[in-house]
Amino acid sequence: MIVPILGALALLLALLALLVAVLWSIRRQRDVDLRLPASAGIGQLLPTLAGLSSSPVVGGNAVELVENGRYFDVLLERIRGARHSVHLETFLWKDGAIGRQLGTALAERAAAGCQVRLMLDANGCRRMGAPTLRHLQDAGCKVAFFHDNALRNIGLLNNRDHRKLVVFDGREALVGGHCIVDAWLGDAEDHLHNADLSVLVGGPIVNTLQGVFSENWISETRELFGGEDHFPHLPPAGDTAIHAAWLKPDGAAPAVKILHHAAICLARERIWIQNPYFIPQPAAIDALGEAVARGVDVRVLMPATSGSDNPMVQHAGHRNFEKLLRCGVRLFEYPHTLLHQKAMTIDRAWSAIGSSNFDDRSFETNDELTLGILDDALAARLDGVFEKYVARAEEVQLDAWRRRGAWHKLKDNGAYLFHLLL
């Protein structure tokens, strides 16, 4: 009797191992060789950077930086002024004052005949509140959930839609890191209010961003939308060149990963990174170290464990601090609240801003959206935000870091074991 049971158990384990191997083979991606010889500055090599991340450079755009709680003022104003369509894609929506206010504004536009489509991550938006969801649906809003807990998604449940994108009438769009949660209100004035950055863009790039929204919408609903109300002819709205990174080709490195890593290779003067979850891969650490070696000022600003909403992520990042510091990278931790902005500036000219964290989950697994923007004024604004927060941050010093306690080191190394899931 024991032999058949053991045989059945062995067969079950073999089938489980086969299933894991199949799922891994479907989701795996090849690593990128992070070496890109730079023959010129990043401005001149913008077509290279855009081309490598699978999106053309689009000129003639206007861009405005939107910081902290002002994001919701802009969002609600644009929703109330929309005539034809509002398309919103987000990772995190929790029941609260701003969630209910946003739900009311969207429902009002839908009831007035405006087409409202909401692409919500099934995991991050599970606590948006049943009354808000019913209100939206009853008003005529179309709501789809990305990768819900269904059998058909069994191999994709770890793949989340982390984008934060809103497109208004196909003519303007908001892109950045803001979530629909009350903690994003205010001005990062205390530990209860987060700091974050988004950009409001207008011009031809919005056609591309409407296409980004359509990708997951079509995947989940099979509905196509088009016409002048969604993809209008867009004349120039400014003189800013923008390219978008969002694609995840099968078996290849996602565009957001290539974008961030290639930009590091092109820097000649400085790289300033603001990111809440900074867990670079070893090859990225080497690329940052090589940048320092060629005279680039590399600085990273992130929350401390006391400011983070997920201290385990910060501990996972700590595991690589010593190597980064030895390479000459300057690290700053902000202890007062969550700095959630995902921004990087290169040589005071080019900026990356969007939803991507600087970690394996964003670069390998999640659906993300980052804009590459060539605009000196925007880069200066982002550098100004960096300087504002770094003035109250604590710089990590190599000698002191090496002397941190054994318990701290144990937490760092233990958390790093799960960095692919954080």
Q: Which residues are catalytic?
A: 162, 164, 169, 340, 342, 347
Beta bridge partners of 373: 242, 351
Beta bridge partners of 352: 344, 372
| Structure tokens given for 109 | 């536009």
The answer for residues whose C-beta is within 8 angstroms of residue 14's C-beta and 6 or more apart is none
- In this structure, what are the phi and psi dihedrals at residue 339, rounded to the nearest 5 degrees? -90, 105
Q: Is 370 left (phi over 0), alpha (psi -120 to 50) or beta?
A: beta
Which position has the token pair 């001005």? 187
Q: Tell me the C-alpha distance between 190 and 314, whole Å.
A: 19
Contact assessment for residue 350 and residue 374, using Cβ atoms and an 8 Å cutoff: yes
Which position has the token pair 């990043």? 42
E strands present in 203-329: 240-245, 270-274, 297-303
Task: Cite the DSSP H helix spans in 53-204.
Answer: 70-81, 97-111, 130-138
Contact assessment for residue 193 and residue 186, using Cβ atoms and an 8 Å cutoff: yes
Task: Cite the DSSP H helix spans in 328-396.
Answer: 360, 376-390
DSSP code per residue over 371-385:
EEEE-HHHHHHHHHH
Q: Centre a 10 Å sphere on the Cβ of residue 380 and count the other Cβ atoms it contains.
A: 13
Q: Tell me the C-alpha distance between 302 and 335, whole Å.
A: 9
